[in-house]
Structure 1
């Protein structure tokens, strides 16, 4: 169902009246678990569309209250559609980091062995404690990663459903729906020290909250992605570098295609959303990574909202609330990317110029039109090129999106998205 919503902001009353029905187009609205992506709603509606497990028989509908029950429901044999309803918060790491430690691993010993004053910065770390760290990391990965099968819907029940410390892997499958979950970023218990990463080394972590890897027809809707109880500001530092225990909130990589992410909240995170993970992945990614991002709230996100390589990405009607400190960019323009960014709204604090919204990683064309910054129309490409004359971006992504079920004027986007996006907001 194609729907053009011509919403004009006429005072606060008109805006309140307009904040209705972001999910009204979904089928079977009386039961969100049976909801399907409306026709014409982003790239995931292309071709066969995205229905997830909407057609599941009663015997293939699972209600889970623990991480162990969640894994069992997803691993239940059979290829027929399934629905997994999440009640409450599932904790993938309830036993704590010590449950994954390999015998003999000692973090204090690790720090002593690889202290740059001892090890230096020329070589990657190796030896017994690094081997034990890697074994511990492998154990954690097995415990917190879970694969989502084809023809599956995972949906939170009510306003407080979520997952803490888990990593949802949508890998090599077709037709998946994820809705109404608060997903707290996994905390990597065993980051690796890499003294060769930059001039002063870096701690590198694994485990994204959600990964779409080589999969097609994926709808990610009304979820909240957050670092929760462990923001980066709470993490310690060692060797003068932050002990980074977070990776991304959502990655769409390795030939993934036909994805719609709508009405989600991405909050309080550094490297948030990556589309295409490597410049060397052209053989896998060219002609794929077609992604639509609409009506999402990116709040206090430092960078990658998203960063794009190769993908044909449509980003419209999103609201970006930029943090007062640490901000790097929102849209990252990478190798062979074709990003269309239209009718988005940006709320920037004083002292941050709109030219920083775009970041040039590699030469690629980009379309920007109808975007608003602090309530005013701004040509993002022009202000970027004026602010960064050494990083000129080319205009015109070379394609025109047509799979847009709802388009709102940018003046209305902050109120509409802030009110309706995220977990617990399904109607």
Structure 2
């Protein structure tokens, strides 16, 4: 069967979906052997489901482990990560991979899998054994909050197949609220409830967004400028109705807690929005066109960022994540970004082009008549491409780009019309935050009616 290696970040993220584990006490001759197992169905859809397993060694240290169980209703494992999983009939065997075999006392290893089920019952296994020693007890089901002992739990199918991780709902679009990576690391509030400063010139804008004092800055009218205006921490930059920033861009550098919403950028001569060495940034409901370099570029160890509901047209380089192949020392473990409900209308490339970030979440975006390619995963990145609508896109997503080596990319539940099939490979770390996933077939109309400046009340 197909197995895949997913980064061990799943262990750190598992607390988002797995409730407190129930100890399964070993019944055996050697008192120093025992385990604790938590098994959960993290997501479920017609014909398939995603499972998480956390194994904790509560006995003497072991240098390798084998975990076995039996399915009771014809379930079949089709794909796995962080363990080698095989199945014979109803019997499943999971063995450690190279980096998670040694378990000290009270140490844990987590792995995940995708599987198939019969759409009527998906009972939780109860007959786990580690290294041949039976574990008996109960398992906790975080989906319902209940506990089953030697029984089963039946769950209704859902319409989507999300990555393992935090809860996913379907069909409840939120066009104004913050979702995604910018909710993590303490969250993103920008200027919060600070007093509003309205600016009408580039000098006033530059002054208002500088420093670390919390401010809400409203852009009024057309501000003509050149180069980049540096944005400090704790700022919300909002465009009033009909406003525009023409000729220059915003540089969020060495800052945190920044919100950029409802602005129109045109004809910038560097980047429209550049984020570097910065965390907790939300870029939302902006319109960007006809610029020189990147529309929204994120780089140099930036982290916890959401890019949502933006409209891009008449432009080449849309969104770059990670600026250089040789910047791994800064970027690995960072560059975690969510891109959702953005409208790429005839743009050419980088939607986004990703280096190093894992997981990067690209969901519910609308791609129309893209020139070169949609999404590229390179240099060890892990990108989940989920529930997007691709129309007239010959190359919707692929691995590697130019001289950059391939990353990993998992694509699921996308809608493609007049488009190529895309390229996938590898595995992606779990998504830690809850989000609402619109049906991919509805994304075109949802995004067209909601993306860009002027579509929200502020």
Matched, 1:358 2:398: yes
Note the C-alpha offset of 1:404.
3.9
Report what 2:38 is aligned to: none
Number of equivalenced pairs: 288
**Which secondary structure does the structure 1 equivalent of 2:316 belong to?**
strand
5 Å matches for 1:222-261? Answer: 222-227=285-290, 246-261=292-307
1:74 counterpart residue number: 209
Distance 2:222 2:228 in 1: 16
- Asked whether 1:343 is paired with 2:387, we answer yes
**Partners of 2:185 and 2:304 within 8 A in 1:** no
Contact kept, 8 Å, 1:265 with 1:298, in 2: the verdict is yes
Deviation at 1:172, TM superposition (A): 0.6
Deviation, 1:145, is 1.5
1:337-360 CA deviation, whole Å, 9 max, x = no partner?
Answer: 111100000111xxx64x554253
Alignment-derived partner of residue 410 in structure 1: 440
**Is residue 243 of structure 2 the alignment partner of residue 161 of structure 1?**
yes
Q: TM-score, normalised to structure 2's length?
A: 0.60
Task: Map 1:76-91; keep pairs closer than 5 Å.
Answer: 79-91=212-224
Checking the alignment, whether the CA contact within 8 Å between 1:185 and 1:208 is kept in structure 2 is no
**Which structure is higher in helix share?**
1
Q: 1:74, CA displacement in angstroms?
A: 2.3
1:371 aligned residue: 414
Alignment-derived partner of residue 355 in structure 2: 309
TM-score of the two chains, using structure 1 as the length reference: 0.64
Is the Cα contact below 8 Å between 1:90 and 1:163 reproduced in 2?
yes
RMSD: 2.1
The 3 A distance-change label for structure 1 pair 91 and 318 is same
Larger RCO (alpha carbons 8 Å, 6+ apart): 1
Q: CA deviation at 1:298?
A: 0.8
- Map of 2:82 onto structure 1: none
Partners of 2:381 and 2:186 in 1: how far apart?
Answer: 25
Find the residue that maps to 2:435 and give its secondary structure. coil
**Structure 1 residues 356 and 260: CA distance shift in structure 2, 3 A:** closer
The counterpart of 1:150, out of the listed 233, 236, 244, is 233
Q: Could you tell me whether the CA contact under 8 Å between 1:185 and 1:249 is conserved in 2?
A: no
CA distance in 1, matches of 2:338, 2:326: 23
**Which residue of the partner structure matches residue 430 of structure 2?**
400
Contact in 2 for aligned 1:333/1:339 (Cα 8 Å): yes
Match of 1:269 in 2: 315
After TM superposition, what 4+ stretches of structure 1 lie above 4 angstroms from structure 2?
2-5
Counterpart residue number, 1:208: 271
Largest Rg, 1 or 2 = 2
- Could you tell me which runs of 5 or more consecutive residues in structure 1 were left unpaired when the two chains were aligned: 8-17, 27-36, 94-143, 188-206, 231-245, 386-392
- Structure 2 stretches lacking a partner, 5+ long: 1-165
Q: Is residue 269–residue 302 contact of structure 1 (8 Å, CA) maintained in 2?
A: yes
Name the one with the larger strand percent: 2
Q: Is the 8 A contact 2:277 2:301 kept in 1?
A: yes
Counterpart of 1:419 in 2: which secondary structure?
A: helix
Q: Does residue 198 of structure 2 align to residue 63 of structure 1?
A: yes
The DSSP-based 3-state class of the residue aligned with 1:153 is: strand
3-state SS in 2 of match to 1:63:
strand
